[in-house]
Homo-oligomer: A and B are copies of this chain.
Amino acid sequence: MVNIELIKELCQKTESKIVMVVVDGIGGLPYPGIGRSALEEAATPNLDNLAAASSCGLVEPVALGITPGSGPSHLALFGYDPLKHEIGRGVLEALGVGLKLGPSDVAARGNFCTVDEFGIITDRRAGRIPTEENRRLIEGLRSISVEGIEVILEPGKFHRFVAVFRGQGLSGDIEDTDPQHVGERPKDAVPRSPQAADTANLINQWIAKVRKALKEEYPANMVLLRGFAGLPEIPTMSQAFKLTPAAIASYPMYRGLARLVGMEILETGLTIKDEVETLKTHFDDYDFFYVHVKDTDSSGEDGDFARKVQVIEEFDSFVPSILDLEPDVLIVTGDHSTPAKLKGHSWHPVPFLIHSQWVRPEGVKEFGESMCANGNLGVFPSLGALPLALANALKLGKFGA
């Protein structure tokens, strides 16, 4: 059982340093013809040595059988119950393209679509227009202004874009304008609650102007918006856990997630080497470091087992450099599993190790799914990772006398 409220009450500021490495989608399944997972197949002498001197287990991101997205699975590792702090789809998309959101911004996912002469949707994706065409259209739409809001637009791939509406007192409590079916008209933005009425009205004004501007742009002659959301109200890690946290992540979405919980975002490069260099450079300045390794997940999603093995081996080679910094606590885990066999996120619990001078090492000889399943920590919620880190960093006072 994990009790975050109690952890918040007991935590205290100390000099000790925690490094949490999130190897995205590190967990997997035995690969057909190989019979071992990518983590088991990879040659990881450094992780194996570390595991032998660590306490090991498997973490479950949300609940038994649940396959999590990156948002909830990261929040859990950062010490936030993902069922209590839901991140709207629009917000995640905005974070994913690197947009910084303010407290009353409302973000949404956008699609270009095709409507006929009567305004009826004939293609919800506008024939998946080329990304270049998308960029030209977005450039044009940026000149549209509506009094009372600023609209920030960022093109994505093909027909996709992100829209952020910025203004006073906005609310994201608005229904999708995307009816999800062809043969219907785009819906108006409809408020779900009275405080979103003004926002919906402003968004509808913007959509009306967009419709006019796109009139001659067949097939991308209209837009659909969905997943309206503002930033969730969430205490920072400094407020909640008295940490001074920093994030080292090369992909925008993960920087965005870290920013959500008040981490300082450190400039870094695209490689694991760059990230470890960044950790070294800033090691004196913070007491909690989130280090994100992305390509284990991307290769898993691509079904590229060999590449996933390679990324894990690459990460392994930097483990000694991290240990050289002598963090008081080092955690290596993932936000979820991404088996190459399944080509996507999965519900399987994720290998976890925690190293500090205060763990009970347990003779795990290899950092992998099977060995971690036999680790002393057993299967436990990801939400327990931060409490364990704080305990091992001696940052938690005693409960009761």
Contacts and interface: CB of A to CB of B under 8 A. Distances in A.
Contacts of A381: 1
Interface stretch (A147-155, A186-194, A371-379): A371-379
A71 interface: yes
Given A1-B381, A66-B6, A400 B358 contact: no
B64 A1 contact: yes
B387 A86 contact: no
Given A6-B63, A67-B391, A391-B67, A89 B29 contact: no
Contact of A391 (B65, B89, B374, B379): B65
A68 B400 contact: yes
A369 B375 CA distance: 12
A25 to B, nearest CB: 13
A163 B177 CA distance: 57
Interface stretch (A98-106, A200-208, A320-328, A345-353): A345-353
Contact of A3 (B6, B66, B400): B66
A30 B374 contact: no
B67 A396 contact: yes
Interface string A376-401: 11111100100110110000111111
Interface centre among A363, A390, A391 (most CB of B within 10 A): A391
B379 A64 contact: no
A72 interface: yes
A358 B346 contact: yes
Contacts of A379: 376-378, 380
Given A360-B370, A362-B373, A401 B63 contact: no
Contacts of A342: 358
Interchain residue pairs A-B with the least CB separation, the first 7: A65-B387, A65-B391, A69-B400, A3-B63, A72-B400, A373-B376, A69-B401
